[in-house]
Structure 1
Amino acid sequence: MSLSSAINTAQTIFNNTAAQTALVSKNISNVSNADYSRRMAMLGTNGNGAQIVSIQRAQNDALMKQHSISIAQSSAQSTLLTGLETIKSALGGNGYETSPSNYLKLFRDSLQTFASTPGNASVAATTVSSASDLAKSLVKTSASVQDVRYQADKEIDASVKTLNGLLADFEKANYAVQGATASGADASDALDQRDKLLRQISEIVGISTVTRANNDTVIYTSDGTVLFENTPRTVTFQATPGFGATTTGNGIYVDGVPLKAGNGANTSGEGKLASLLQLRDDIAPKFQTQLDEIARGLVTLFQENTTPATTALPGLFTWADGTVPAAGTLVPGMAASLTINPLATANPTLVRDGGFNGPGYSSNTSGSSGYTDLLDSFATALGENMAFDTTTGLDGTSSIMDFASSSIGWLEELRSAASTANDNKTALLSRTQDALSNVTGVSLDEELSQLLDLEQSYKASAKLVSTVDAMMTALLQAVG
């Protein structure tokens, strides 16, 4: 090897070592950055046989796609569980202490106590108070359910705006990747940014991707609607200012195509939008129908009639319409206006005697303070079967006590199954994150080991340079 060749070789080694050291340093500085993929320096030769360093980015497309799916599924399940937990909290938490079912049991106990001491004015007042607590529980729970729908609607609105912003950012990142790929420049930073945006989009809506020439990426929703192709597709949604039992929320549209809601406790939805739709349009409305049927049942069971029978009228329990609804027929929003008859507060003995609608509706015609027939019939009726609307998802024939308990059971079964599914999907997400990190993440130990190898390479190059220098010095001295 000539001295000039040795010097050129040393210079090449110095340049390559510097490039590799800079890359290792960049890797180390991003060791805690979950959105960074490890860079690797690959040595090669050019047409003249000289060694060059090219940069390769660690990636695994299959794991990346699985990771996006896991993010979407976990986000959807977590969103659904959060909504169910909110409804549960409104009912008093684990013991459901403030649920209509619990207040119904307390009211029944008060009726039975009143029936055992019908002449006790204090017990009569307590019974009316229990009835009032029951009515207020239904009103409050109904308001909480509609608030869950309203909050879900607000979150949909915010998420859609975020999604549109992410898609606009993705367009810029995608162009940067295409430009770098086409020019042969390093596209690693742009690819990191694009992958980060894909993960963020996955939290909002389930996606799948297809990569085309020049690393161009097309995004589809999980049900096949184009979300991004060259330019973002517009995602539209109109928020609703308030919710009642008869309010229908607006849909989410991706380029004019409606986004599907999730289904089931182990939700089929991917991304939080699918679960928010499920909460707003399926679960919360279903629970509302159960509350409305409990309210209708109370008005029906405590109705008053004359002898001989005429038009039945509400007795102890009444509502905004002031009528007794048809048997087994749902009245949307009835629970929101349920209340006790104001006369009950002024004269609690009307619960014992009847007559909320005038003397002609009184059952205790003798005015006896020991009269218990009406109280006994109320207590018995609470445990007897009656017809309920089957659209509630519960048994169409049961007692109001069992129906109220079944409503809590329905919610708890749904919440428990959703919690189990959330644990499973969270665990799956963790495993896919670990698998992807093992491929694309930075290992500090490996990078430090690489630095040691580069140090040895630098020392060898420096030794070569010092040797050439010594030889050049000896040559000059010999010539001189």
Structure 2
Amino acid sequence: MSLTSALNTAQSILSNTSTQTSTVSRNISNAGAENYVRRSATLASNGWGAQVVNISRAANDVLFRDSLVSTSSASGQNALLDGIDQIRALIGGNDFEKAPAALMGSLRDSLQLFASQPSNTSAAQGAVADAILLADGIRQSSIDLQKMRLQTDTEISRQVEDLNKLLGEFEVVNNDVRNATRSGQDASDALDTRDGILKSISEIIGVTVVKRPNNDIALYTKEGATLFETVPRDVTFARTNGFDANTVGNAVLVDGVPLGAGEGGATTASGSLGALLQVRDTIAPTYQSQLDEMARALVTTFREVSQTGGTDLPGLFTWSGGTVPPDGTIVPGMATSLAVNAAYVQPSGNAFLLRDGGANGADYVVNVEGGAGFSSLIEGFVTQMSEPVNFDVNAQIGASASLFDFAASSVGWMESLRQQANTAAENKNASYYRTTQALSNATGVNIDEEMAKLLELEQSYKASARIITAVDEMINTLLSVR
């Protein structure tokens, strides 16, 4: 090897070592940075040994796509679980002390006490007071449930705004990636940024990523709607100003295609938006139907029956419709107006109407003799609370059950749904952790490995320095020869 060749080789090694050292140092300094993907200098042979031809990025498309899927799945499941927990909180959380089933139990106990002491004023007023607590509890749960639907609708609107903002940012960085790739420049930083935005998008809505020439990508929803293709597509949503039991919330439209709501306790929602739609449009309305059916059954059970063949009318429990509704059919929103008939409530009302009947006039008096020991009507109410009632199957409890059993099954329905959601959340969060950890292991920075590379590069630098020193000595020796 000539001295010139040796010098060129040493200079090439120094140049390569400098670039490699810079790359390793950059990896180390970004070891804790979110979305940073490890870089490495790629060498290729040349006339002097080797040279750095490009800085490569340790991307793994398969693992990255798996991480997007698990991110969307976990985000959707967590959003659903949060929504279910909000509904459970309306009825007292884990203890269910505000649940209709618990309040019905208190009413039954006070009715049984009143039946055993039908002339006792305190017992009569106590039964009416427990009826008021029950009616207020169902009514307030219904009101709060619709407020929760409104809050969920507002959250959907906020997330749609966030999604559109992210898509705008995605367009900018995607153009940077395409332009850098097309011109042969290093696109690593832009790719890191784009991956981070994709992760944020996938938390809101599940996406299918399609790679195109020049590192360009297009995004599609699982419904097949185009979310991004060169430019962002419109994601639109119209907020609803108020909710009641009859209100149907607006759809989220992606390029004109409605986004599907999730289904089941282990929700099919991919991203939080689909889960929020499920809470607003499926779970909350189902519980509203159960409240409405309980309200209807209470009005029916405690109705006053005309003793002269007239129309049955609401008795202890009444509602804004002022009638006894048909059997087995949901009256949407009935729970929101459920109340105890003022005729029973002190100071202007008479609690003993619960014993005697007659809140709707003389034709409805059962205790016609006016006996203070009369208890048949009260006992009849207690019995009817445990007898089968026809319910609307759309409430998802069953077609026939006693009032007590229906109320208890409503709690059971909620608990079963939450248990499914909680188990699925644990599984999906574990899957999310595994996939993100696998991606990090494959593409992230390992400090120990990078430090070991620095030591190797240090040895390479020393070797090239020794070559240069040796060449310098040889040249000096040649120059000193006369």
**TM-score band (shorter)?**
over 0.9
CA distance in 1, matches of 2:144, 2:431: 33
> Counterpart in 2 of 1:33?
33
2:228 counterpart of 1:222: no
> Counterpart in 1 of 2:442?
439
List aligned pairs for 1:90-105, cutoff 5 A: 90-105=90-105
List aligned pairs for 1:446-461, cutoff 5 A: 446-461=449-464
2:86 counterpart of 1:71: no
The runs of 4+ residues in structure 1 deviating greater than 6 Å are: none
Other structure's SS at 2:263 match: coil
User: Per-residue deviation at 1:39?
Assistant: 0.5
> Counterpart in 2 of 1:378?
381
CA contact (8 A) 1:44 1:54 kept: no
User: Per-residue deviation at 1:2?
Assistant: 2.6
2:351 counterpart of 1:348: yes
2:419 aligned to 404, 416, 419, which one?
416
Other structure's SS at 2:327 match: coil
The one-character-per-residue Cα deviations of 1:171-229 (angstroms, maximum 9, x if unpaired) are 11111111111111111111111111111111111111111111110111012111111
User: Per-residue deviation at 1:360?
Assistant: 2.7
Letter in 2 for 1:363: V
Letter in 2 for 1:209: V
List aligned pairs for 1:128-277, cutoff 5 A: 128-277=128-277
Say if 1:404 and 1:49 are closer, same or farther in 2 by CA, change over 3 A.
Answer: same
> Counterpart in 2 of 1:476?
479
CA contact (8 A) 1:171 1:230 kept: yes
Letter in 1 for 2:188: S
User: Per-residue deviation at 1:264?
Assistant: 0.8
CA contact (8 A) 2:41 2:52 kept: no
CA distance in 1, matches of 2:125, 2:399: 33
CA distance in 2, matches of 1:25, 1:49: 24
Other structure's SS at 1:245 match: coil
> Counterpart in 2 of 1:368?
371
List aligned pairs for 1:2-13, cutoff 5 A: 2-13=2-13
Over the matched positions of the two proteins, sequence identity in percent amounts to: 50
Say if 1:365 and 1:433 are closer, same or farther in 2 by CA, change over 3 A.
Answer: same
CA distance in 2, matches of 1:29, 1:309: 88
Other structure's SS at 2:309 match: coil
> Counterpart in 2 of 1:298?
298
Letter in 1 for 2:20: Q
Other structure's SS at 2:54 match: strand
> Counterpart in 2 of 1:403?
406
Letter in 2 for 1:115: A
Say if 1:466 and 1:47 are closer, same or farther in 2 by CA, change over 3 A.
Answer: closer
Letter in 1 for 2:390: A
User: Per-residue deviation at 1:463?
Assistant: 1.5
> Counterpart in 1 of 2:361?
358
> Counterpart in 2 of 1:125?
125
CA contact (8 A) 1:19 1:53 kept: no
CA distance in 2, matches of 1:203, 1:171: 18
Say if 1:442 and 1:353 are closer, same or farther in 2 by CA, change over 3 A.
Answer: same
Letter in 2 for 1:217: I
Mind listing any 5+ residue stretches in structure 1 that lack a counterpart? none
Q: Which moved more, 1:140-149 or 1:210-219?
A: 140-149
Other structure's SS at 2:248 match: coil
CA distance in 2, matches of 1:47, 1:173: 38
User: Per-residue deviation at 1:53?
Assistant: 4.3
CA contact (8 A) 1:287 1:392 kept: yes
> Counterpart in 2 of 1:21?
21
User: Per-residue deviation at 1:47?
Assistant: 7.5
Other structure's SS at 1:56 match: strand
Say if 1:47 and 1:471 are closer, same or farther in 2 by CA, change over 3 A.
Answer: closer
CA distance in 2, matches of 1:53, 1:465: 23
Tell me how many residue pairs correspond in the alignment: 479
Letter in 1 for 2:90: A
CA distance in 1, matches of 2:28, 2:253: 43
2:433 counterpart of 1:430: yes
CA distance in 2, matches of 1:39, 1:241: 50
2:80 counterpart of 1:80: yes
TM-score, scaled to structure 2: 0.97
Other structure's SS at 1:218 match: strand
CA contact (8 A) 1:145 1:284 kept: yes
Other structure's SS at 1:442 match: coil
Backbone CA RMSD of aligned residues:
1.3
List aligned pairs for 1:301-320, cutoff 5 A: 301-320=301-320
User: Per-residue deviation at 1:358?
Assistant: 2.0
CA contact (8 A) 1:174 1:216 kept: yes
1:462 aligned to 441, 444, 465, which one?
465
User: Per-residue deviation at 1:394?
Assistant: 1.4
The one-character-per-residue Cα deviations of 1:259-288 (angstroms, maximum 9, x if unpaired) are 111111111110111111111111110110
CA contact (8 A) 2:8 2:48 kept: no
Mind listing any 5+ residue stretches in structure 2 that lack a counterpart? none
CA distance in 1, matches of 2:372, 2:481: 137
CA distance in 2, matches of 1:143, 1:78: 25
User: Per-residue deviation at 1:335?
Assistant: 0.4
The one-character-per-residue Cα deviations of 1:25-56 (angstroms, maximum 9, x if unpaired) are 11111111230111011111357865224211
User: Per-residue deviation at 1:337?
Assistant: 0.8
The one-character-per-residue Cα deviations of 1:54-94 (angstroms, maximum 9, x if unpaired) are 21111111111111111111111111111001111111111
Other structure's SS at 1:368 match: coil
2:398 counterpart of 1:387: no
Q: Which moved more, 1:23-32 or 1:468-477?
A: 468-477
> Counterpart in 1 of 2:330?
330
CA distance in 2, matches of 1:214, 1:205: 25
CA distance in 1, matches of 2:131, 2:446: 66
CA contact (8 A) 1:353 1:364 kept: yes
